[in-house]
Amino acid sequence: MVDQVETELPGRPWYQEFAAGISVATVSIPAALAAGVLSFSALGSSYLFAGAVFGLLAGAISALLSAAVFRASAVAGPVSTVCVTQAILISSLASHPALANDPLRMIALMTAGVLFTGLAQLGLAMLKAGSIIEFTPYPVVAGFLNGVAFLTISSQVLFVLNRSSLGDLVTRPPAELAAWAPLVFLVVFVKIGLLLPRLAPRLPAAAVNFAAGIALYYAALTVVPEHWLGPRLSVAEGPLDAVLTGPSELLVALTGLPSAVFVDLVLGALTVAAIGIVETSMTARMVENASHHRVDKYRLLMWLGLTNMLASPMGVPSSGSMSQTAAMWRSGGLGPASDLVRAGAMILVATVGIGLLNYVPFVVVSGQLVLIGIGIFDSWSVRQVIRMARSPDDASRHIAKRSIAVIAIVMVVTASGYVVLGAALGMMAACWIFIADSASLLIRSRHWGDVARSKKTRSMRDVSYLREHAKETLVLALQGPVFFGNVAELSRDTLRVDSRTKNLVLDLRRVTSIDASAIATFGAIVRRWRSTARSVSVCGVPVGLAFALEELKSYDPTNDQLFFVDRDAALEACEERILGRLDDRTHPSLGATLGELEVTRGFSAEQNEKFGRRLSALSLAGGDLLCREGDDGDAIWIIVEGSVGIWINVGSQGKAIRVGSYGAGTAVGEMAFLRGARRTASIVAEGPLSCFALSQADFDALGREDPLLATLFFKNIARILAERLSVTTDQIRAAEDA
């Protein structure tokens, strides 16, 4: 079965495709022009015209390839996220002594970088790297986008103020008022650009902003001199073929290139490739949400890689564009005709309309890039800050703080120019936070023995003794994956347990997976506790993790009381160990006399004698039935030694399941006896059993003989039932947390 299905692209009449192509071109042309300028900005102002033209041509190549081969469901072309990374790469390479004062070689290396980017994307596409976005934590993506947005905006501010860095701007701010004029114009233009989409939401924002910027520029020239606002793109900067890299120029540029520079070039290209994959995958996700179909990410990334390889002579990298893709889907230009129209429009502007670029001011292109940078900034990050400041919920603020920490790390490092390092640190921070959260969430609940009780019904004397020693039993209910990252914290947690705790129960019922490190740590916990005469019980191991059970047994092969099918069985064993310390005089299971039973509390010696005459002594072997489900409730039994299990039939097949047990000193069968109803469960001896039976007829006779004794008996039964209800409440509370 194919994992991903290409989005179905419905056909449109040619005139609708033509109109859609023009509509998308109004978005693509300003974006490609601005991104190309940004890509070439590291070479200086004399190469910005070439960047504008090559950006348009690179966008046209992507559109032509989509029309001829891929019929893609997204739009790819030069965008600022990859172009600002390209500019950072070129700036770092230009600082190398071997490349100083050699801009043409730098342009050739730009071509090589885009070629390597395309090759890398083809290789990653074959490795199905399109799913990377599904495994990248969103705070990492948000931090990266915010860092790129900051780089895009700050680079244009520095450009219009003619400063090389933010440090240079701080230490050497422009002294003349005229030098600040481009920044003032930039701020006004950006403000207008942010307002126009609200005033005219149906118009293409990029084209409207670009036209408004040019109109604002020429309007400003009626007030201030032209040199105050900076130059315009100039066709007279030189022929484009002088900076167009061919195969021979590429070979010359790479020949004799220092190994350190070559490594930086390849790593930079891989960075651009990775960014392009992430952005294209995000664009594909947007298309999936809009179309409700799966998008073939493999095909999209193949198209992106081939686009960058074919457009590498331009030196401008391409990536998926969410804004242009959104414009394509809104206009309905989903066929090859709209791609051809868009490509034709971009080529027309870059060739026949090249003279029009003489009238495009640099400051307007910078303003367009600033608007793109603002659009890149992730608004979700702002919402996290607001949630951290205002949310009344501690858990919500905790999650927001963690997200903001990752965003800040990635954003700061990316904005410093270290894009790959920023993404790597963000992934490391996200993984660390995941491990830290997993450690805190591994223990779903913890209960002491006063709340975590087995289902075995015991005498009130035993219940009282267990409550006195409640701190001797600790139950830790675990959840989720147990792995090397969080199991160490569990080990430290067990070290901090009070020395009075003798029994540790680890409930694995909600554990979804367990790795080798966790199994080894469990084994270490078992050995450590056993060395101090304390016990560890592991219970509720899911069927899918049976392998872990077998491995755990190897850590303590002589201990047959280590593993239990469920929590109830483990707790019952822990309680028996605690009660085992009671001596013969106080432990009912070691030979209780009639006067020590719960049902005879408060009886006088004479009443004990009367009561004993009405009882019948019974001895049963393990597996014998006291009663069967559905029998008449004509007797009550008082257990002296041993225990019984309570079994009920469930389901259409009448499967019998054990729902509880009763120990020495307790009365069993009292509910049906008191109500005169039929038995709702079967009662089975769980080993040698000694008990007294009181029939309904004998009890009625006893009531006639001594009504006060019968009343006292009922009072004791009521006390026992109330105590059992209290225990059941504790069990329900523990079960809700488990």
Amino acid identity of 335? Answer: G
pLDDT category at 586 given cuts 50, 70, 90 is very low
Segment (H or E) for 564: strand 563-564
Burial 563-602 (b: 16+ CB within 10 A, else e): bbeebbbbbbbbbeebbeeeeeeebbbeebebebbbbbbe
Q: Is the pLDDT of residue 436 over 70?
A: no
Output the pLDDT for position 237: 54
Q: How far apart are CA 511 and CA 544, in angstroms?
A: 10
Provide φ and ψ at 182, rounded to 5°: -60, -35
Output the pLDDT for position 734: 58
Contact 30, 346 (CB under 8 A): no
The SS3 call for residue 538 is strand
HSE (side-chain half, CA atoms, 13 Å) at 340: 10
Contact 55, 372 (CB under 8 A): no
Q: How do 689-695 and 635-641 pair as beta strands?
A: antiparallel
Phi-psi map region of 585: left, alpha, beta (phi>0 left; psi -120 to 50 alpha): alpha
The SS3 call for residue 317 is coil
Average pLDDT for residues 563-583, to the nearest whole number?
85
Cβ partners under 8 Å of residue 277, min gap 6: 121, 124, 129, 130, 132, 301, 304
Q: What is the DSSP letter of 477?
A: E
pLDDT, tens digit (0-9, with 9 covering 90-100), for 87-99: 888 888 887 887 7
Q: How far apart are CA 514 and CA 479, in angstroms?
A: 11
pTM for the model: 0.61
Amino acid identity of 176? Answer: E
- Calculate the CA 173 to chain-centre distance: 44
Contact 504, 534 (CB under 8 A): yes
pLDDT, tens digit (0-9, with 9 covering 90-100), for 300-323: 888 899 999 999 999 899 998 887
Output the pLDDT for position 291: 67
Amino acid identity of 229? Answer: L
Q: How do 535-539 and 563-564 pair as beta strands?
A: parallel
520 burial via Cβ count (<10 Å: 0-12, 13-18, 19+): middle
Output the pLDDT for position 590: 35
Contact 346, 59 (CB under 8 A): yes
Beta-sheet strands, E only, within 249-403: 319-320
pLDDT category at 233 given cuts 50, 70, 90 is confident
The SS3 call for residue 35 is helix
At 594, list the tokens: 């009639």
The SS3 call for residue 457 is strand
Q: How far apart are CA 158 and CA 235, in angstroms?
A: 24
Listed residue (331, 428, 416, 328) closest to 147, CA to CA = 416
pLDDT, tens digit (0-9, with 9 covering 90-100), for 370-389: 888 888 888 888 888 888 88
Q: Is the pLDDT of residue 292 over 70?
A: no
> Which stretch of 123-137, 168-182, 477-491 has the lowest confidence by average pLDDT?
123-137
Rg (CA), the chain: 40
Output the pLDDT for position 58: 93
> Which stretch of 189-193, 397-401, 611-615 has the lowest confidence by average pLDDT?
397-401
pLDDT, tens digit (0-9, with 9 covering 90-100), for 386-400: 888 888 777 678 778
Q: Is the pLDDT of residue 678 over 60?
A: yes
At 241, list the tokens: 């073929």
Amino acid identity of 722? Answer: A
pLDDT category at 591 given cuts 50, 70, 90 is very low
Amino acid identity of 179? Answer: A
Average pLDDT for residues 109-126, to the nearest whole number?
90
Q: How far apart are CA 156 and CA 363, in angstroms?
A: 9
Q: How many CB atoms are closer than 10 A to CB 467?
A: 13
Burial 389-405 (b: 16+ CB within 10 A, else e): eeeeeeeebebbebbbb
Domains of the chain and CATH, by start: 14-377 (no CATH), 449-579 (3.30.750.24), 589-737 (2.60.120.10)
The string of DSSP letters for 182-230 reads: HHHHHHHHHHHHHHHHHH-TTS-HHHHHHHHHHHHHHHHTTTS-GGGS-
Q: What count of residues does the chain have?
A: 738
Q: Is the pLDDT of residue 134 over 60?
A: no
Residue where the block lists tokens 């495009």: 360
Amino acid identity of 320? Answer: G
Q: How far apart are CA 408 and CA 146, in angstroms?
A: 9
* Residue of 57 and 165 predicted with greater confidence: 57
Q: How many CB atoms are closer than 10 A to CB 638?
A: 23
Contact 69, 340 (CB under 8 A): no
Residue where the block lists tokens 């199905």: 128
Cβ partners under 8 Å of residue 558, min gap 6: none
At 168, list the tokens: 């240079």
Contact 492, 528 (CB under 8 A): no
Residue where the block lists tokens 């008990």: 691
- What is the maximum span of the chain, computed from C-alpha positions, in angstroms? 126
Q: How many CB atoms are closer than 10 A to CB 635?
A: 19
695 burial via Cβ count (<10 Å: 0-12, 13-18, 19+): middle
Q: How far apart are CA 242 and CA 645, in angstroms?
A: 94
Q: How do 443-448 and 473-482 pair as beta strands?
A: antiparallel
Contact 371, 209 (CB under 8 A): yes
Contact 415, 147 (CB under 8 A): yes
Listed residue (456, 438, 369, 352) closest to 402, CA to CA = 438
The SS3 call for residue 333 is coil
* Residue of 394 and 11 predicted with greater confidence: 394
The string of DSSP letters for 667-701 reads: EESHHHHHHT-B-SSEEEESSSEEEEEEEHHHHHH
* Residue of 116 and 43 predicted with greater confidence: 116
Q: How far apart are CA 646 and CA 640, in angstroms?
A: 17
Amino acid identity of 688? Answer: P
Q: Is the pLDDT of residue 636 over 60?
A: yes
Output the pLDDT for position 557: 63
Listed residue (596, 591, 635) closest to 614, CA to CA = 635
